[in-house]
């Protein structure tokens, strides 16, 4: 429920006096439901024009840059006019989205109402191929197929991703998945009509507002934050055994839960890594709030496990399960994914041994966690061999905030917690 946030937003409603003949009414603008939200859209109205609204009713589902959020009414009213309809996207925050009136008899006066502010809605994709695209298609029968990099220049269409016909099926087959399994999150978006005259069978997949925001923020992060990377290997045999022991006594935790707590305790012990750059100086975070990367149909989102250094393993497990489940449904409240002091991205369950991740600003660090892999080493006696399960983690850090020796200290402490998991039950 977003009552506190909604109250703040409702207080910013615009009072329209455009025509003296209009009864008293309120024009409700598209609200900013996250700190980074500049554009948004309407997923679905829960009521229709003419309906009565009671305080606390969910009246509309709003698409933010990170999730779909329920928007509540704070006062009793009637919905006189919907200005932004279901499926509207790429609308600037503050654009009028509805008109509310106090008296049911006033609804009819707004049948032809036009707001003072014209909604800034992106133009729909062009229905016909561009001239350059048509030209390329017409010559394809007499020349070799062009590479993907030779696609025509943008022509004002909605930004899209293209898949070559059959690529999805081939990749799914190589991964041992069914042909109906989505290849990546973009595959779950509705496809437009295949490009006319193109024998290769490309299909355009329009980007969601969330994907556009992700693209912009990651580009900004890599362009403006001086990333550097530190790698550490951890023996997690004891962690795996400890997890089994906990399971036997009815305590359910995952390897990822143990990693989250290990990182949180390391941040507590090395607070310099739990800081951020505010544009001119380094600011220390007062709490250890771990953002956990979760894949959703629209892209990655990072819900936050708050106070992860002191709530305990069981609480972390329950928090992650709840947040991840609601993130995939687009039902997180803005305060549940906005903020955080440190991010963990774990791809170990997908068979990834090692990778690097892009920092999630304004945070200064993100920890990329790979899977545990059997590794043969010389035993402690020096005369024989033994097999250890090794997990590789890579810390991406903002060099303005975290010096090299701080990154090394953090990883050393993290390694100690990961290899001595009984320390995690504090």
Q: Walk along the chain (426 residues) and give the pLDDT tens digit of each residue.
A: 344 444 444 333 444 444 447 888 888 988 887 766 788 889 899 999 999 998 888 899 888 877 778 888 878 899 999 999 998 888 888 899 999 998 999 999 898 888 765 444 444 433 333 333 323 333 333 333 333 333 333 434 444 444 444 555 555 555 555 555 554 444 444 445 555 666 666 777 777 777 787 888 899 999 999 999 999 999 999 999 999 999 999 898 999 999 999 999 999 999 999 999 998 999 999 999 999 998 887 778 899 999 999 999 999 999 999 999 988 888 888 889 888 999 999 999 888 999 999 999 999 999 999 999 988 888 777 888 888 999 999 999 999 999 999 999 999 999 999 999 999 985
Distance of CA 376 to the CA centre of its chain: 38
Please tell me the distance from the alpha carbon of residue 400 to that of residue 152, in angstroms, as a whole number. Answer: 40
Which among 355, 351, 358 has a CA at the least distance from the CA of 373?
351
Please tell me the distance from the alpha carbon of residue 338 to that of residue 303, in angstroms, as a whole number. Answer: 8
Structure token digits, residue 201: 């069978």
Instruction: Give the per-residue pLDDT at 284.
Output: 95
- Residue 349 backbone phi and psi in degrees, to 5: -70, -10
- Residue 365 backbone phi and psi in degrees, to 5: -145, 150
Instruction: Give the per-residue pLDDT at 195.
Output: 56
- Residue 383 backbone phi and psi in degrees, to 5: -115, -10
Instruction: Give the per-residue pLDDT at 411.
Output: 98
From-to residues of CATH 2.40.50.100 in the chain: 3-110
Structure token digits, residue 68: 């779909």
Instruction: Give the per-residue pLDDT at 64.
Output: 80
**Residue 316 CB contacts under 8 Å (≥ 6 apart), including other chains:** 253, 257, 260, 261, 305, 308
Which among 105, 45, 54 has a CA at the least distance from the CA of 75?
54
**Residue 267 CB contacts under 8 Å (≥ 6 apart), including other chains:** 273, 274, 288, 309, 341, 342, 410
**Residue 223 CB contacts under 8 Å (≥ 6 apart), including other chains:** none
Instruction: Give the per-residue pLDDT at 184.
Output: 45
Instruction: Give the per-residue pLDDT at 170.
Output: 56
Domain 226-425 coded CATH 3.50.4.10: no
From-to residues of CATH 3.30.559.10 in the chain: 226-425
Residue 205: how many CA atoms within 13 Å on its side-chain side? 19
CB 345, CB 357: distance < 8 Å = yes
Neighbouring CB atoms inside 10 A of 245's CB total 12
Please tell me the distance from the alpha carbon of residue 139 to that of residue 3, in angstroms, as a whole number. Answer: 59
CB 410, CB 344: distance < 8 Å = no
Instruction: Give the per-residue pLDDT at 235.
Output: 95
State the virtual CA torsion across 195, 88, 218, 147 in degrees, nearest 10: 0
Which CATH code of 3.90.1170.30, 1.20.1260.10, 3.40.50.300, 2.40.50.100 fits the domain covering 3-110? 2.40.50.100
Pairing of strands 342-346, 304-305: unpaired
Please tell me the distance from the alpha carbon of residue 71 to that of residue 59, in angstroms, as a whole number. Answer: 6
CB 81, CB 98: distance < 8 Å = yes
Please tell me the distance from the alpha carbon of residue 210 to that of residue 54, in angstroms, as a whole number. Answer: 30
**What is the pTM for the complete model shown?**
0.63
Instruction: Give the per-residue pLDDT at 117.
Output: 52
- Residue that has been written with the tokens 């779950």 in this structure: 188
């Amino acid at each position: 429920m977003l009552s506190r946030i909604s109250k703040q937003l409702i207080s910013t409603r615009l009072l329209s006096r455009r025509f003296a003949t209009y009864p008293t009414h309120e024009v409700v603008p598209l609200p900013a439901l996250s700190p980074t939200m500049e554009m948004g859209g309407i997923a679905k109205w829960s009521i229709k024009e003419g309906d009565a609204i009671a305080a606390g009713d969910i009246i509309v589902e709003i698409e933010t840059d990170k999730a779909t959020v329920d928007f509540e009414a704070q006062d009793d009213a009637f919905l006189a006019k919907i200005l932004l309809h279901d499926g509207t996207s790429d609308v600037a925050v503050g654009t009028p989205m509805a008109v509310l009136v106090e008296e049911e008899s006033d609804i009819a006066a707004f049948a032809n109402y036009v707001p003072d502010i014209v909604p800034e809605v992106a133009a729909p994709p062009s229905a016909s191929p561009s001239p350059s695209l048509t030209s390329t298609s017409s010559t394809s029968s007499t020349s070799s197929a062009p590479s993907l990099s030779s696609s025509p220049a943008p022509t004002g269409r909605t930004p899209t991703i293209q898949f070559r016909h059959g690529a999805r099926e081939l990749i799914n087959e190589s991964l041992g998945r069914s042909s109906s399994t989505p290849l990546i999150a973009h595959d779950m978006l509705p496809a437009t009509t295949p490009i006319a005259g193109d024998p290769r069978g490309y299909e355009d997949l329009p980007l969601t507002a969330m994907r556009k925001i992700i693209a912009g923020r990651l580009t900004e992060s890599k362009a403006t934050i001086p990333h550097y990377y530190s790698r550490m290997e951890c023996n997690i045999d004891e962690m795996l055994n400890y997890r089994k022991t906990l399971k036997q006594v009815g305590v359910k935790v995952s390897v990822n839960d143990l990693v989250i707590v290990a990182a949180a305790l390391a941040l507590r012990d090395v607070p310099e890594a739990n800081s951020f750059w505010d544009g001119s100086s380094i600011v220390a975070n007062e709490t250890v709030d771990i953002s956990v990367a979760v894949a959703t149909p629209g892209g990655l989102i990072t819900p936050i496990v708050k106070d992860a250094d002191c709530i305990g393993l069981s609480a972390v497990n329950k928090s992650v399960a709840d947040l991840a489940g609601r993130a995939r449904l687009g039902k997180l409240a803005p305060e549940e994914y906005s903020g955080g002091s440190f991010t963990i991205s774990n791809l170990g369950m997908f068979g990834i041994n090692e990778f690097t991740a892009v920092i999630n600003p304004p945070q200064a660090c993100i920890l990329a966690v790979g899977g545990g892999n059997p590794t043969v080493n010389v035993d402690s006696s020096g005369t024989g061999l033994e097999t250890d399960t090794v997990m590789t983690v890579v810390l991406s850090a903002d060099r303005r905030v975290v010096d090299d020796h701080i990154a090394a200290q953090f990883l050393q402490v993290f390694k100690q917690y990961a290899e001595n998991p009984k320390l995690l039950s504090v």
